[in-house]
Structure 1
Amino acid sequence: MNRAPQLRAPALRRRSLLAGTAAALALAACAPIVPRETPSAALRPLMPAFLLDGRLSATDGRQAASGRVEWEHAPQTDRLTLLSPLGQIVARLDSDPAGARLLSADGTRRDAPSADALLPEVLGIEVPSARLPRWVQGAPDAGAQIRERDALGRPQLVIDQGWRIDYLAYADDRSDALPARLDISRGEARIRLIIDSWTALP
């Protein structure tokens, strides 16, 4: 007389276990999906005037050049000096609202309405000079697309007017740190810049 209830008990326990499992799965299916956290944008202060000292290499896919670079930038003027690995001046490009002047190591001087016309002779590639101050500071224009940020919210990948700017390293671990290494590229044209020092100018 006692055997029937003993046989039904395991079946009841199995049904109860299955029902509990089904309920748990149903609750899990209804649970909201929590999106992965994305870093918030870091405030990128823009220095209106600076002195940058570093190393630069540029290529158009066929020819390449490299050396040291000193760039003194102000809102209305720029002086870009390229030096050989041994420290000799290879070229100096000055620009202001009146135009641009390129002085080569052999004393040759060329004038142009803007720096854009002479930069290809210095770097071997065409690059928009007006956007370079923002690119090198990691503070792209509002029209640029910031595709990726690092854990501190600093730009890692920016697309601007068809150019790709990859920020490979920053000077330190602060959220407002300036870039220390970046690549600027479009097609086969590429500029690689390692910045050894930044100096804010008055």
Structure 2
Amino acid sequence: MNKALLLLLWLGIWLTGCTTLPPLSNEDQADRWQDRQAELLQLQHWVIHGRIALRHEDEQWHANVRWRQDQAEFDIQLFGPFGRDIARIQGNSEGVTLRTGEGEHYLARHVDELTQQVLGWPLPAAGLRYWILGHPLPTAEHTLKLGAQGQLESLYQSGWEIRYERYNDAPLPLPQRMRLQYENIYLRLLIDEWHLQPDAPPFNPNFGV
């Protein structure tokens, strides 16, 4: 199985915040979470630069990642050591394309179909756009646990267990480190940079190597 495809198609990143602030009461946590959900759902343009690690059965892979989200459009790039191009997946509501560093191309109507075609099982792609922000997919059932400041600490949705290990200190804290598990697939994401505008600086594929 192509390592690049697994790395690219199983993007996911989640974190919960380390903070020195005193914990909120349960009622205040719920109120803070309601406010936080409204703020997160307004984020329609963002870019992350980070690192991703995937463990599946006896194999492990690592890569640098750049993910640009512009409303429904997304562009995910994976890079290996020395900036080596591993794979790129781009899509919107009209369809999805995937290109590997070896020049292989795949097309599908949805990311779920693409992962089924390439990997043999579907990816809950609709949730990823929200999970990476620290928010559940609004249209699907889920179970969650809130942290001391009203942010997501853990989330279970679409068969995935997502744990948020750290948030940044921005005015709206966003995930910095996340772990995901689906059966025997384990994914870890470390986000080095968040940019909340489409005109994010160019990606340095050697960052963090």
What is the TM-score normalised by the length of structure 2?
Answer: 0.70
Residues 76 and 121 from structure 1, CA distance in 2 versus in 1: closer, same or farther, beyond 3 angstroms? same
Query: 1:197 is matched by which residue type in structure 2?
Result: E
The equivalences for 1:1-202 within 5 A come to 37-38=25-26, 40-41=29-30, 42=33, 43-44=36-37, 45-46=39-40, 47-119=43-115, 126-142=122-138, 143-172=140-169, 176-202=172-198
SS of alignment partner, residue 118 of structure 1: helix
Structure 1: gaps (5+ residues): 1-35
SS of alignment partner, residue 103 of structure 2: coil
Query: What is the Cα-based RMSD across aligned positions, in Å?
Result: 2.6
Deviation, 1:101, is: 1.1
Query: 1:109 is matched by which residue type in structure 2?
Result: H
User: Could you say which structure has the larger radius of gyration?
Assistant: 1
CA distance in 2, matches of 1:125, 1:198: 30
Deviation, 1:118, is: 3.3
Residues 115 and 137 from structure 1, CA distance in 2 versus in 1: closer, same or farther, beyond 3 angstroms? same
Residues 96 and 85 from structure 1, CA distance in 2 versus in 1: closer, same or farther, beyond 3 angstroms? same
SS of alignment partner, residue 64 of structure 1: strand
Query: 1:166 is matched by which residue type in structure 2?
Result: R
Structure 2: gaps (5+ residues): 1-23, 199-209
Deviation, 1:193, is: 0.6
Residues 55 and 154 from structure 1, CA distance in 2 versus in 1: closer, same or farther, beyond 3 angstroms? same
Deviation, 1:173, is: 7.2
Query: 2:191 is matched by which residue type in structure 1?
Result: I
For each residue in 1:8-51, what CA deviation from the matched residue of structure 2 results, as whole angstroms up to 9, or x when unmatched? xxxxxxxxxxxxxxxxxxxxxxxxxxxx9425133132211211
What is the TM-score normalised by the length of structure 1?
Answer: 0.72
Runs of 4+ in 1 over 4 A off after TM superposition: 119-126
Q: Taking every aligned residue pair, what percent have the same amino acid on both sides?
A: 26
